[in-house]
Structure 1
Amino acid sequence: MTTSFKLLPGDDPRIAEILALPESPSFDCKRVGSVDSALKAAVAFANGDGGVIAMGVEDASKATGRDRLYGLAEKPEALAELQRHLAGRVVPPLPAPPIVELPCVLRDGSAGQIALVSIAASTAVHSIQDGGTYIRVRNISRQLAAAEIIELGLKRGSATVVEAPVAIPFDLLETTAWRDYRRQRELTRPIDEQLRLLGLAKQDAAGAWRPTLAAILLFAEFPGELTNSKYAIRLFHYRGFQIEYTANTNLVKPPKTITGPILAQIRDASRAVLEELGSGVQVTPAGFELAQQYPVRVIREAITNAVLHRDYRLQSDIHIRIFANRIEIESPGSFMAGVTPANLREAGSRPRNRVLVAHLREFPEPPNLDAGEGVRMMYATMEQNLLYPPVYQTEADLGREVVVVKLLNEARVSAWNQVEVWLREHGSIGNVDLRSILHTDSHAKASKMLTRWVEQGSLTVVDPTAGNRNRRYRLASIGDRMQTLTSLFSHRPGKQP
């Protein structure tokens, strides 16, 4: 990271990087006199994707350069006070965060320290007792209204709409799906009584027993139509590599709508995708034939995840789009709190709708429902078939509250394996680095490969304003700013209190 700040003897090298970072959804600067303000930022980070607070550092809008370094001595007890508040005033409490103190020369020329406080993303929604609930909006911590707090809990997965009662007659759920489920579990009671005992019926505000949305999704023949909602899967098959928004659409055939109980949706959508791919080839706009060879297990797992982990509060169907070189599966919602494209492979997916997962297990021949293992299987299977790994995009990438997984119908070139190792070690790569890896002097060859990886979603540009020769690239699954912040906590000397 480039900066005009001049390091002095006694400055930790990270000081220059910290002063160059703008405040953002994942980074904030606080003087230690404002512990309450730091507490709000900590809660906002926990309610989002996590972040780092630089304590002892003035806001960049109020001072510049070394004049921002007030240090911890301004209020020596501030860090301990912040930790007490995280445990005692925050509901539910936040664990003690990692803290790194960095030596530096302060604004008055004396020796001192600042501190970096790392707040992890939480799976819960946190509030300050008598102080409100906060989220990060750009570079500020904004307090939420009561309705927004409920919405945040649903979005992050700490609550789910599928457990709410719905005013639908019980007899509309006596379907083939219910009979299969009842037979498998050897249930004999009437459906209304049985669903109450299974936790799939609850009392509404008037005290009447109603089936939950989960019961409707599991058993109803037309769950979306019954609830006036969008709970179906839409399948689109396109010629070529992109959607053409013209009068002469590039759809291979009219879109297909797949509805029914969610287990039937998973099975029918998987079958429909495989039928679309059944010819094995597709002709590109340039007239070339592309063989489409996706691992069946990966397709089924991606569809299963989309159905089970989607956010059913959002009025949108799941969209599956087949192109000549990829399949895209778009699911309404976001990852569960604490899960990101960067850690998904290691962490695995976390079920948003646990009740659906629990009851799908009880059907005859259920899909794979092992928490987290399916995602790891997808990565491993694509790798075994010499294909690029799945590419995940979220609201941060697309500007819409969706999760999109792209399965690329392209063989991994051997260079990619080396590039991936380089990126996980160094964070970013440039044309010169790639030429060194490839043992080539051709700037054009390296540039073409980098451009291709960006177009397919494997890489993203770190600094779009830089010239081609100086441009840097990173893995698309790793946020650049958070990667920088995380690096501040490792691989360099520092003091851990």
Structure 2
Amino acid sequence: MTFEIVDIDPDRVSDLLQMSEGHFADLKSAEILPSKLTKTFSAFANTGGGDVYIGIEEVISADGKERLWKGFADQEACNPIFQVMESLGPLANNYTAEFFRAKDHSGLVLHINIFKSQEIISATDGKIYVRRNAQSLPLSGAEAVDRLKYDKGVRSFEDEPVNIEVEEITNSVAILEFLLDAIPTGEPLEWLTKQRVITGDRPTVAGILLFSDNPQSILPKRSAIKILRYQTKKEAERDFLAFDPVTIEGPIYSLIYDAVDQVKQIVEGMEKLGEEKMEKVSYPEEALHEIVTNAVLHRDYSVASDVQIRIFDNRVEIESPGRLPGHVTPANITKTQFARNAKLVRLINKFKNPPNKDVGEGVKTAFEAMGKLRLKPPQISETDQSVLVVLRHESLASPEQMVMDYLKDEPEITNLIARELTGIKSENSMKSVFYRLRERGQLEQTPKEKGKKPSWRKPATSDDKEPDATI
């Protein structure tokens, strides 16, 4: 097995030797046993992914701890590491590797990037590890393993049976209205059984959430949405609450629409200081709708906590209980798909005017909607217990400013790059931005070259004036 050898400069070597080990990074000696390395591999794969650098020695001297570059003699010396990684099953296709080589330093340092896995990965000792700060810790007990299964979406709480009579969903207004709209000839018990939201003689969590008239009385603290309005730009504190928290209840179809309507109503009642007077605050309804839909459909229902929507003077925060499932991370969430609650996602899409019209495209749609209003994109982060999405009422820089900022570091810019940078969809609209900058003497077209796309650059005599903010 052969991987690329990358030559790195002294600055990169210095950064590597001074790197802080933490939740997403670990440094290991080349002398470590491959079997011991699998604890780190398991922990990264089961948590959020991370980078392992093998070939960095930590020694104790009179001056304290010191790191030394002591790499492998050649690539073949790392074969035992790759062999043990291949033996870990799902991990075999869940990493990339490269070798670092540096002048005046002996040997090769192996860099392995472990991705967050869709499945649970055990180390060679048979234990399951998770990453906590700079440690790889084994899970202890069946309850901890079950918690990880829910976190990763290997197991979904939506399939758990609920100890309540099946009539709760076979004779509800919610199921009768749904069947009249979607399947007029369907019989509730037969249809719900076929959809596997009835197990034996008990409804499942998914069945209760979708078709009970009042899921919150059966699944308290995990099936409602709390909306809080704070009259501040700072952190959430009770003293800043504008009114008592609003609780939205009902089956999840109406729950989503009612919550979005309530948030929209509150936001539209807010004002911000404009250039000359107070102006109404507005967020794109598509962004609010998609983020709230995701928070309800993809949350971890095993966590006894409601979705929270916190409205501040300058932002809206949507917090969804549970960590991101499977291989999904904040970095790849717009480019990948994984449904923790597959039944909820599939069945709610059968409703008339489903909230998840474009299945798997919700977060991407939210980003696009914010871009259309020239607002900053949603910020997505993950805590130990939840996923937080923040929609800020902060404008992006003007397209002109973004183009000129790009050209501070790059020699030229094409229409395609500029559209990706600014969010402008139309090629002609982007040309208008270039023309305005040209008229102000800040841009010129790059001389045409055969086989090369047209581009723009700063004029050789440009004084790099800041773009006029009024344009």
TM-score (norm 2): 0.76
Distance in 1 between residues matched to 2:115 and 2:370, nearest whole Å: 30
Partner of 2:127: 132
Partner of 2:136: 141
The answer (yes or no) to whether the contact 1:170–1:191 under 8 Å persists in 2 is: no
Distance in 1 between residues matched to 2:317 and 2:262, nearest whole Å: 14
Partner of 2:265: 275
Partner of 2:376: 388
Change (3 A) 1:276 1:349: farther
Equivalent positions of 1:263-412 (< 5 A) are 263-279=253-269, 281-282=270-271, 289-345=278-334, 347=335, 350-395=338-383, 401-412=385-396
- Please tell me whether residue 202 in structure 1 is matched to residue 194 in structure 2: no
Distance in 1 between residues matched to 2:310 and 2:267, nearest whole Å: 12
- Please tell me whether residue 216 in structure 1 is matched to residue 208 in structure 2: yes
The answer (yes or no) to whether the contact 1:348–1:373 under 8 Å persists in 2 is: no
Partner of 1:162: 158
Distance in 1 between residues matched to 2:463 and 2:297, nearest whole Å: 41
Letter in 2 for 1:392: I
Picking from 207, 212, 219, the partner of 1:227 is 219
Q: Which runs of 5+ in 2 are unaligned?
A: 1-6, 411-461, 467-471
Partner of 2:20: 22
- Please tell me whether residue 257 in structure 1 is matched to residue 284 in structure 2: no
Letter in 2 for 1:387: L
Letter in 2 for 1:113: L
Considering only aligned residues, what root-mean-square deviation do their CA atoms show, in Å? 3.3
Distance in 1 between residues matched to 2:405 and 2:34, nearest whole Å: 41
Letter in 1 for 2:218: L
- Please tell me whether residue 236 in structure 1 is matched to residue 224 in structure 2: no
Distance in 2 between residues matched to 1:229 and 1:136, nearest whole Å: 28
Change (3 A) 1:27 1:185: same
Distance in 2 between residues matched to 1:198 and 1:218, nearest whole Å: 12
Letter in 2 for 1:226: I
CA deviation map 1:161-196 (0-9, x unaligned):
111111111111122221122224426565444322
Equivalent positions of 1:81-96 (< 5 A) are 81-88=80-87, 90-95=88-93
How far residue 418 of structure 1 moved from its aligned partner, in angstroms, is 5.5
Distance in 2 between residues matched to 1:10 and 1:69, nearest whole Å: 13
How far residue 264 of structure 1 moved from its aligned partner, in angstroms, is 0.7
How far residue 151 of structure 1 moved from its aligned partner, in angstroms, is 0.8
The answer (yes or no) to whether the contact 2:226–2:309 under 8 Å persists in 1 is: yes
Partner of 1:47: 46
How far residue 409 of structure 1 moved from its aligned partner, in angstroms, is 2.4
TM-score (norm 1): 0.72
Change (3 A) 1:220 1:84: same
How far residue 261 of structure 1 moved from its aligned partner, in angstroms, is 0.4
Change (3 A) 1:149 1:439: farther
Q: Which runs of 5+ in 1 are unaligned?
A: 1-8, 204-208, 426-435, 441-497
Change (3 A) 1:10 1:227: closer
How far residue 59 of structure 1 moved from its aligned partner, in angstroms, is 3.7
How far residue 233 of structure 1 moved from its aligned partner, in angstroms, is 0.7
Change (3 A) 1:96 1:336: closer
Distance in 1 between residues matched to 2:236 and 2:202, nearest whole Å: 45
Partner of 1:172: 168
DSSP-derived class of the 1:128 partner: coil
Change (3 A) 1:45 1:262: same
